[in-house]
């Protein structure tokens, strides 16, 4: 399958099988260890690949089956971060979490996801995407007792991410996506150093680069926060013009059941747009027609070859059957619109 327009993809995470980690939880501990865990992760990656392929998703990923959390699993592999003595911090001004502490210069002593990326590439013929956290979101998930500057720490993380991303690219990854939910919260920092550190993380990459900016997983703290944002969510309005000028190829935004005015897509002239057409905060599976409506609405602002129907965010907290249903709805909804446009 190689659709010329409306190629579908997912933001990143998918639910894990119940034998690998407890369902419907973020940071769920592994239920296996040692070699059994390594083998279990690979089996889980095979399962989510088959789910995506059978649903008809064009650009597939590992569903983050090898990570407990989209940020901390990467940080665990760095030097300069103490995981034994955790500190409580407020994440994205929204909820408290016990997080590791930066105690010295951060460094990446070895490849972090190389093995996983090699496995993913070997297990499917479709184009593959790999996700990494963005520098600002990494900074926001830590207590910094060393640099004492969010900007300085972000610049260090950008160098580390760039080294990792170059390795992933060399292993045949087609799209490298940086997750920056913090871009919807710290607008001044996005302008002052956020986009610059994001570009530094992606510097020199020849594969497609993407940034995912969202309103978070469908957990209570995020859902409560969204209620405070008013009738129109215009956070993207200040960020998109900066990203339009950047070298990042693709930008994702939440569209399904969100209050984001879709005309904001117009601020991203020239970019590929990942249109969130699946609501990850609801266990109700969309109909293909609902997905199609979101895609049609977005088509007013972006050409079909630059529009990638996608999920709003990761689906890890959802029941597995719901996520599988949503994958099918996403692919079927995109197919409906392709049919209307005379493309198969
Ligand atoms: Zn997200």
Residue ranges and CATH numbers for the domains of the chain are 34-69+114-134+149-340 (3.20.20.210)
Q: What is the pLDDT of residue 325?
A: 98
Q: How far is the CA of 35 from the centre of ligand 1 (A)?
A: 31
11 C-alpha vs ligand 1 centroid, how far in Å? 7
Q: How far is the CA of 314 from the centre of ligand 1 (A)?
A: 6
Residue 139 to residue 117: CA distance in whole angstroms:
24
At 92, list the tokens: 């994205």
pLDDT attached to residue 93 = 78
235 alpha carbon – ligand 1 mean position (Å): 14
Instruction: Report CA dihedral (28, 32, 35, 39) to the nearest 10 degrees.
Output: -70
Question: What is the distance in A from the centroid of ligand 1 to the CA of 254?
Answer: 9
Measure 91 CA to ligand 1 centroid, in angstroms: 14
Distance between Cα 206 and ligand 1 center (Å)? 24
With a CB cutoff of 8 Å and minimum separation 6, the contacts of 154 are: 135, 136, 138, 139, 193, 194, 197
Angle between helices 150-170 and 114-123 (to 10 degrees): 40
The residues with which 130 forms a beta bridge, in sequence order, are 176
The phi and psi torsions of 340 (rounded to 5 degrees) equal: -65, -30
Question: Which residues face 90 on adjacent strands?
Answer: 96
In the block, residue with structure tokens 């957990």:
219
pLDDT at 17: 97
Residues of the chain with pLDDT under 70: 1
Please give the model's pTM, rounded to 2 decimal places.
0.96
Distance from residue 81's CA to the centre of ligand 1 (Å): 24
Distance 342 CA to ligand 1 centre (A): 32
C-alpha of residue 181 to centroid of ligand 1, in Å: 6
| C-alpha span between 144 and 148 (Å, rounded) | 6
In whole angstroms, what is the distance from residue 306 CA to residue 304 CA? 5
Q: At what angle do helices 34-55 and 114-123 cross, to 10 degrees?
A: 40
What pLDDT, on a 0 to 100 scale, did the predictor assign at position 334? 98
Q: Residue 309 has what pLDDT?
A: 98
Contacts of 255 (CB under 8 A, 6+ apart): 262, 275, 276, 277, 294, 297, 298, 312
Q: Residue 27: its pLDDT value, please?
A: 83
């Amino acid at each position: 399958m190689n659709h010329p327009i409306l190629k579908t993809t997912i933001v990143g995470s998918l639910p894990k099988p119940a034998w690998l980690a407890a369902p419907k939880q973020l940071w769920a501990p592994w239920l296996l260890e040692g070699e059994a865990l390594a083998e279990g992760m690979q089996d889980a990656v095979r399962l989510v690949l088959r789910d995506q392929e059978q649903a008809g998703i064009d650009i597939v990923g590992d569903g983050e089956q090898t990570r407990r959390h989209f940020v901390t699993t990467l940080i665990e592999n760095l030097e300069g971060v103490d995981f034994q003595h955790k500190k409580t911090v407020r994440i994205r001004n929204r909820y408290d979490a016990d997080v590791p502490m930066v105690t010295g210069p951060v460094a990446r002593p070895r490849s972090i996801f190389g093995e996983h990326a090699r496995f993913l590439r070997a297990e499917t013929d479709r184009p593959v995407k790999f996700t990494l956290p963005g520098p600002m979101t990494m900074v926001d998930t830590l207590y910094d007792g060393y640099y004492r500057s969010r900007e300085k720490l972000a610049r260090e993380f950008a160098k580390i991410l760039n080294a990792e991303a170059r390795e992933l690219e060399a292993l045949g990854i087609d799209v490298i996506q940086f997750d920056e939910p913090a871009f919807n919260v710290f607008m001044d920092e996005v302008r002052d150093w956020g986009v610059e550190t994001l570009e530094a993380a992606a510097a020199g990459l020849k594969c497609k680069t993407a940034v995912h900016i969202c309103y978070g997983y469908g957990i209570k703290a995020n859902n409560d926060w969204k209620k405070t944002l008013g009738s129109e969510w215009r956070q993207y309005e200040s960020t998109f013009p900066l990203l339009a000028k950047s070298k990042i190829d693709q930008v994702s935004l939440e569209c399904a059941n969100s209050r984001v005015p879709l005309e904001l897509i117009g601020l991203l002239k020239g970019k590929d747009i990942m249109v969130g057409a699946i609501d990850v905060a609801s266990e109700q599976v969309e109909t293909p027609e609902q997905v199609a409506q979101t895609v049609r609405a977005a088509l007013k602002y972006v050409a079909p070859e630059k529009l990638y129907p996608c999920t709003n965010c990761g689906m890890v907290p959802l029941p597995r059957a719901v996520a599988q249903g949503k994958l099918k709805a996403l692919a079927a909804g995109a197919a409906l619109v392709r049919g209307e446009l005379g493309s198969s």
